[in-house]
Structure 1
């Protein structure tokens, strides 16, 4: 594909990925604020204790086939059909197993109320399995706009259901129902936008060519979920539902922040990097442009989130959630590096190195698990601080693995990433000092945002940042095209 065509396709994908994730985070924010004001931390803690089981089961039923289909030179109907019937059958078996294990889960957390909640919540991952091949079709064909519309519709419908149930007094049952409605609606939308349909009879032979690649991604995803949900497991075991709820609330805001960037970049990263994977020099060039764009967006967004966390939490969901704001401040700093790490892993997957992706994630997850278990007696803040430090430092290992594939030097990558990180850090420090005299939260919150955004944009413009100017020019070009 010509360079101009690839650049245009990537830009359009990033634009729609940004619209999708921006709209998702706004909707999540609106519905999250409403439900958080109605419910309490124990309600969120109840659902949070079960999230790790649903996520692992979800990874098992998906089995890495979405990326495997995207990575194939040619994906046929037989490939999608085999994935559909395999994933749906496996997820049904997993649901029956987990539903039967609900008493054991409740016993682990010393909470009998989790038995019916678990059996109800786990329905979500079975329903989600029915949309895997349709989602993979949209992803492979860079139909980012269609995926964006699907997510937005599903969020609106499920959010309304969740808020309504919370108002009616259904507490954590409303949160669980909201998740089930979300996957149900998004699957219907995927079905509408994707031309592919399952058929009978079915042959599972196509899975043989994908299982070697997908199985490694499966194990990787499981360890990622364990790593990302360590605190819910440990806090649920050794602390109370309130601590789990406070952490989950902070982690939800952190996830909304870095998912905005990760989702936008991931919507195009793997297909685009896969398209140029045969030319390492060109792939390195494309990767560096994506790396600069990711850092340009990620650092001001996440460090800014850390800056305004106390005011934002207090004003939106109330002072009862203030302990989560202090947790969010630490998580958001580490969250600034997550989109960068995600881009590194996409490069490895595009090279077919799912085994390397797997083992590095396993080692990282195992390290986190051991360290967190040793630290739990010392308190949540100490655990989170070390957790963030390990995740950030591990980026050096990811870089070394990518260097082996495309020979991207550490100094070049550091210039691409840290220049934006240092500028964003400087901006947030100046903003914090400049607004320290303001006592009104209603004034302090918007002033921090406006001052930080203006200062960051000004520095980007004065320094002649190519990434900033290219992004601005593309947006202005799109605006002129739409107007004409």
Structure 2
């Protein structure tokens, strides 16, 4: 199969995976949140930063290192990293296990001791699947990953919904997360058909650690920065406010992750395979920027435009304070997928040192913005994230600009027509007043928004959109 065919097949399966599983999982968490309420939801949100930080140590560095080394990967490499990840998982779990009372005291929430010690088991389970997931990604086998995600989503959803309806409150979310991770791991191992050998190579560890350690540290810093807002909301406000902020963060992140994981999950192994061919690499990179902006800008801005109807219809009246926070975070996330691509290409060419340098350079800005915004509540924090996201875009695009001559300004020149079309779409949708049927209003806004956005791109004569539309139309016609 050619590289182009592999990429197309990977995109199709990855997209199917996200449509079925991310949207399905989102629907399940929304349903559970509606039952258990903002306060119980907020208790789990308080622990998010600790879970993600531990998983970033376990997952981020060595998985990317294996993929980056895909052309020269040996059995010694795979087996060594498998055992290293198990070690990291055990260390992270027991570290957090013994820190549970301090986490509880930080938030002044005694119930978090028991919750965290159970929830953090997810870290141990995740450590077992890092290598098999990397191997499937190297082979651009997103079909197996899609099937694994579908099975785990369906089975864990049944458990989570049953527990929520039986009155188990926040425990329904805890067991939803744990069982999803367990079922996913079992199916991934089944499809990968790989077993580690009793090998530990110091040479493999040193080689992969040199690349992976930078990504591990960069991932840790990025995760810390991205989730510090939620942690401090829990520290300075109550669990209900955490619930609102966590839900808004989750909803806006789902849209962003849908784009990131679909496109970048497929293109990262492809970019690593052609990293020595500069012309092809830059071509894939620029095409990826264009298609990401074409999709991400209207999706996030459109979500902001329909957030009122979405929250009222799916979450209920108890969640109304989420709406202004969600609108702000959608604006903040609209540029995030491009920032991720700019960092992704640094990994693809083996410059994890630059990746780390970029993430560290953003830390002071983010922390300063956070503490300035704290007195203004969760809405102030959300708008602080809007400001830092757009500044971070230019920081993230600095090194790609130096290395490939395609920096932040050049990327915005590609995107300005999408931004204009999305802005007109947003204001046009805002003119539609809600009627007695929230569902009908939501559907009308979505349909009108899509029509306005596409029509504006025809009017503005965007070349990338017109070429893509022409290709799709020709294939349908034929």
Unaligned runs of 5+ in 2: none
Give CA-to-partner distance per residue, 1:337-386, whole Å, 9 cap, x none.
11111111111111211111112112213321232123312322122112
Residues paired across the two proteins, number: 477
Q: What residue in structure 2 maps to residue 224 of structure 1? A: 222
Work out whether residues 45 and 243 of structure 2, in 8 Å CA contact, stay in contact via their aligned partners in 1: yes
Correspondence 1:418-437 to 2 at 5 A = 418-433=416-431, 435-436=432-433
Deviations 1:315-335 (A, max 9, x none): 011011011111100000111
Q: Deviations over 1:73-106 (max 9, x none)?
A: 3111111111111111221122112111111111
Deviations 1:216-240 (A, max 9, x none): 1011111111122122211111100
Asked whether the equivalents of residues 65 and 210 of structure 1 are also in contact (C-alpha less than 8 Å), the reply is yes
1:52 aligns with 2:63: no
Q: How far did residue 471 of structure 1 move?
A: 4.3
Gap regions ≥5 residues in structure 1:
none
1:15-42 per-residue CA deviation (whole Å, 9 max, x = no partner) reads 2222211222320232123212211111
For 1:16 and 1:174, the matched residues in 2 are separated by 30
Which residue does 1:457 correspond to in 2? 454
Q: What is aligned with 1:192? A: 190
1:267 Cα deviation (Å)? Answer: 1.3
Matches within 5 A, 1:377-392: 377-392=375-390
Moved more, 466-475 or 142-151: 466-475
Measure, in 1, the Cα distance between the counterparts of 2:366 and 2:57: 22
- Equivalent of 1:31 in 9, 19, 28: 28
Corresponding residue number in structure 2 for 1:21:
18
Look up the match of 1:334.
Answer: 332
Cα separation, 1, equivalents of 2:253 and 2:21: 12
Question: 2-side partners of 1:410 and 1:106: how far apart?
Answer: 42
Q: TM-score, normalised by structure 2?
A: 0.95
Q: What is the alpha-carbon distance in structure 2 between the residues aligned to residue 475 and residue 195 of structure 1?
A: 36
Decide whether the 8 Å contact of 2:80 with 2:199 is kept in 1.
Answer: no
Show CA shifts across 1:93-146 (max 9, x none). Answer: 221121111111111111111111111011011111001100010111111222
**TM-score calculated relative to the size of structure 1:** 0.94
The equivalent of 1:67 in structure 2 is 64
C-alpha separation in 2, matches of 1:248 and 1:290:
30
Deviates more, 1:343-352 or 1:290-299: 343-352
* Aligned partners of 2:259 and 2:296 also within 8 Å: yes
CA contact (8 A) 1:234 1:373 kept: no
Q: 1:9 aligns with which of 6, 20, 30?
A: 6
State the match for 1:367 in structure 2.
Answer: 365
CA distance in 2 between counterparts of 1:32 and 1:467 reads: 36
Which residue matches 2:443?
446
- Judge conservation of contact 1:227–1:368 (CA < 8 Å) in 2: yes
Query: Given the alignment, which residue of 88, 91, 95 partners 1:93?
Result: 91
Once the two structures are TM-superposed, the CA of residue 211 in structure 1 deviates from its matched residue by 0.5
Secondary structure of 1:237's match? helix
Alignment partners' CA distance in 2, 1:393 and 1:201: 45
Please report how far the alpha carbon of residue 405 of structure 1 lies from its aligned counterpart in structure 2 after TM superposition: 1.2
